[in-house]
Amino acid sequence: MLKNIPNENSAQGGSTSGGKFYITTPIYYANAKPHIGHAYTTVACDVLARFHKLQGEEVFLLTGTDEHGLKIQKKAEEAGIEPQKFVDEIAVNFENIWKNLDVKYDKFIRTTDENHKKVVQKVLQTLFDKGAIYKGEYEGLYCVDCEQFKNENELVDGKCSDHNKVPEMTNEECYLLKMKDKQIELIEKIKNDEFKIAPERYKNEILSFLEGQDLKDISISRKNVKWGIELPFDKTHTTYVWVDAFMNYLTGVGWDGNEENIPEKWPADVHLIGKDILRVHATIWPIMLLQLGIKFPKLLFTHGHILSDGKKMSKTIGNVIKIEEMIEKFGVDGTRYLLLSAGTFGEDVDVTMERLTEKYNAYLANGIGNLVSRVIKLGSEVEYKMNSVSIIPDFAKLIYSIEMGRALEYIWDKIREDNKYIEDNKPWELAKNNHEKFEEVMKKLLGDLDLISKLIVPFMPETSEKIKKALETKEAEPLFQRIK
């Protein structure tokens, strides 16, 4: 077990109390099956949750599906089925893929859950009673695929940059959440890290946005969308999907909607999100919390997109990498490793199946697989007792900083060093003519393998167990076979 690691990076989201650690994925929009981007975020959250659990913390990992809104209503109509049945099928797909990727979440929340809907209505009523929500009308460019209103300066050639579609000009009666009256307060709280956004580039991006214009009060309801939660004070309106979705972070840990009954798990230690939903998470969500008088999450950590050959994945250009295909080809732990070692976590990363295959062979088959095979075979006669190795502080800092790629590189540096150490010392020759030196070399290698098996636990739990078993039985099954 990895244990007794001082947290020297609590500013990045690590728990300083040694007590609880609450981490969330976004809840994924239930308009289509899960894709590689969903897997990237969720596996990263699972790694962080597993690591903190190993430190003896009480960990809670929340994930789920966002199931209301116009896009889902339209998708269900196209499929010729009721929206509830449509989202039921999608939710099962998400639950299955997380099981297949060995993600150990603590709760899978759905925004169609009855308790969630009741709390959302209670919160909306509270905000309405406080005067933070008022009736008006909203005119703006609305992207159905994003379920977001867009400013002109967000468009590229007049189109939504994420979906390459021209937004619809919408003018309708709605209820609005007051935003502008909390803008200065929000800016100050982001600047002083009371609401911490990382990496720094995303903090600067949001501050530039907030300081460059007055926030408009945001529509929190739609009158022409049936598939949503009815406003408690006006049943001709349903709740705008983002307001509904954000509340999952509180309802998912049991909040009943009463401001005096905030769950002990709150605030979240980490909200982990993709950069496409940064702006709404850094404006609408914290302003809702300010209006309600509820603490901010400790850290909003944002990562980049997964690109393929420098381009956004698209069925049209045929560069989509399906997560199911990755699992079938590389196995569960291989897929987890390849996702999180793809580049600097926080930046865009670029992958192709060809490069993933090359990396699998070089780092997994020839790297850790080869090391385990050689050390267990050469050290089968050497007495070695596994011990409770404390994790290395430098490695722990990388995890606490959510530097996934660098943490894996730290482990693979050790693997490369050990493979080189074997070549330099040639233990198979020492076994014939210098048994004392042979024992010294092999005990070092066995000890390193023991440490490696512990370091990879959060990333590759099944592989870790196989290495531990090999050390105990002195028999090594092949971990990663080379593939074409």
Is 315 annotated as catalytic?
Answer: yes
Of the candidates 117, 160, 271, 281, the residue annotated as catalytic is 160
Residue in the structure block whose two tokens are 């990992």:
61
Q: Does the active-site annotation cover 163?
A: yes
Of the candidates 71, 75, 117, 143, the residue annotated as catalytic is 143
Question: According to the 3-state scheme, what is the secondary structure of the chain?
Answer: CCCCCCCCCHHHCCCCCCCEEEEECCCEECCCCCCHHHHHHHHHHHHHHHHHHHCCCEEEEEEEEECCCHHHHHHHHHHCCCHHHHHHHHHHHHHHHHHHCCCCCCEEEECCCHHHHHHHHHHHHHHHHHCCEEEEEEEEEEECCCCEEECHHHEECCEECCCCCCCEEEEEEEEEECCHHHHHHHHHHHHCCCCEEECHHHHHHHHHHHHCCCCCCEECEECCCCCCCEECCEEEEEECHHHHHHCHHHHCCCCCCCCCCCCCCCCCCEEEEEHHHHHHHHCHHHHHHHHHCCCCCCEEEEECCEEECCEECCCCCCCCCCHHHHHHHHHHHHHHHHHHCCCCECECEECCHHHHHHHHHHHHHHHHHHHHHHHHHHCCCCCCCCCCCCCCHHHHHHHHCCCHHHHHHHHHHHHHHHHHHHHHHCHHHHHHHCHHHHHHHHHHHHHHHHHHHHHCCCCCHHHHHHHHHHHHHCCCCCCCCCCC
Catalytic residue among 163, 295, 377, 426: 163
Is residue 68 part of the annotated active site? The answer reads no
Let me know: does 10 contact 255? Beta carbons within 8 Å: no
Task: Judge whether 386 and 468 are in contact, CB under 8 Å.
Answer: yes
Which of 38, 68, 265, 454 does the annotation list as catalytic?
38
Residue tagged active-site, from 312, 329, 443, 468? 312
Q: Annotated catalytic, 160?
A: yes
In the set 315, 385, 432, 484, the catalytic residue is 315
Active site residue 146: yes
Question: Is 303 annotated in the active site?
Answer: no
Instruction: Mark whether 312 is an active-site residue.
Output: yes
Task: Tell me which residue of 330, 356, 328 sits closest to 460, measured CA to CA.
Answer: 330
Which of 75, 117, 146, 414 is the catalytic position? 146
Confirm whether 174 is a catalytic residue: no
Residues with a known catalytic role: 35, 38, 143, 146, 160, 163, 312, 315
